[in-house]
Amino acid sequence: MIDYIERPLYIDRLKPFIGKSLIKVLTGQRRVGKSYLLMQLRDLVIKQSPNTQIIYINKELHEFSSIGNSDDLFRYLKENVKENSKVALFIDEIQDIQSFEVTLRDLVTRGNFDIYCTGSNANLLSSELATFLSGRYIEIKVFGLSYTEFLLFYKLHDSVDTFQDYLNVGGLPYLINLDPDIQIAYEYLTSIYNTILLKDIVARFKVRNIKFLENLVAFLADNVGSIVSSKKISDYLKSQKLNISTQVVIDYLGYLEASFLIFKVKRTGIEGKKIFEIGEKYYFEDIGIRNAIVGYRTSDIHKILENVVCLHLRMAGYSVTVGLEGKKEIDFIAQKAGEKIYVQVAYMLTNEETIKREYGNLLEIPDNFPKYVVTMDELTEISTHKGIQRMHVRDFCLKMV
């Protein structure tokens, strides 16, 4: 067995489905740890059912390069599956097998296959594929390390300095194997970014205008947490002497989302009755990659905090939108299992105007769901003002799960 640090945040969600005739799909950005989770699941299956035959296919290894499509996969399994056996099938980076869903649908109907797979493309379970495999799969989104996991992986205690490190380098697990020097971390993160750009976007979507793609990513990195639209991006690029149509911007944004480099947060009415189709916020799946692209600047601290808080909410299983009512904005409305929380993010509450803005919008919300103001102010303890909890962002990232 390979040594690894367990991540119960995901394993506990998957345990109820081990041994069941459902396809378990782990999706997420490259290098967030999907392969190691697959290994943990394999070891759990071996422990719980030692007579189960294990078949492990890793599409990043040359020995499996001959499995290029659904027919190849079926042929490989026919040659390697023992007769009348219970089989646990693990496939890493399954999107590299063309039409894989045809074989998986066949296998899951046989009843003796326990199937697990990973993918680094959000279109892995597109609407058409989801329909084809309807009722036969569950999807678990995997992220980089949460702050709690960051402390566990690095064997650190929570402190101002450790949280600053997290804001700097983000949560890609492999960083624990590198020298702690920030420049070395950024070189690694830049290499991951280039791999995503070239392999997951340029090659997969046959992108020709690589320079524009890089400019678009840089624009999004500079505008984390700002309301943007494809037209606004197109207009900005025109000001930079790049004449790019709005439709091309929309297409390229879709490619960046599909590769899990960025994610989009839509705006809704604060009471959730309206969805705004024009203008949304974009955040990075890993804040370290964002910093490696444009650099870590203290002037960007509010953007970075927003990104980290939004990521934390998604890691905790919340669906997240930006609340908007007239000129009033709530940074995040997060919902899970019928529950809802409201979150405002502020770097420092240094003056009356800032305090009034951050608390005022929350106080006008006419329901009793929990409301939070999250800041970097060094408070001795969590405080409450008119029912609104004020928390340090470190406490929020440690306790709100």
203-252 per-position pLDDT tens digit: 999 999 999 999 999 999 999 999 888 888 878 877 877 788 888 999 99
How far, in Å, are 4, 60, 238, 282, 325 from residue 122 at the CA level? 26, 18, 29, 16, 31
Find the mean pLDDT for residues 282-293.
98
> Residue 325 — pLDDT band, cuts 50, 70, 90?
confident
> Residue 379 — pLDDT band, cuts 50, 70, 90?
low
Q: Which residue has the higher pLDDT, 134 or 109?
A: 109
What's the CATH architecture for 8-141? 3-Layer(aba) Sandwich (3.40)
Say which amino acid occupies 309: V
Is pLDDT at 276 greater than 70 in this prediction? no
Percentage of the chain beyond pLDDT 90 is 75
pLDDT at 378 (0 to 100): 79
pLDDT at 4 (0 to 100): 85
Alpha-carbon span 324 to 148, nearest angstrom = 31
pLDDT at 229 (0 to 100): 83
Enumerate the domain spans of the chain. Answer: 8-141, 147-399
pLDDT at 295 (0 to 100): 96
> How big is the CA angle at 383 (ends 379 and 388), to the nearest 5 degrees?
130
Q: How far is CA 191 from the centre of its chain?
A: 18
The neighbour count for residue 80, using CB atoms within 10 Å, is: 11
The neighbour count for residue 254, using CB atoms within 10 Å, is: 14
Mean pLDDT over all residues of the chain? 91
> Residue 350 — pLDDT band, cuts 50, 70, 90?
confident
* pLDDT per residue as tens digits for the range 173-198: 999 999 989 999 999 999 999 999 99
Q: What are the structure tokens assigned to 310, written together?
A: 């939004």
User: What values do phi and psi take at 340, rounded to 5?
Assistant: -145, 145
Quote the pTM value: 0.94
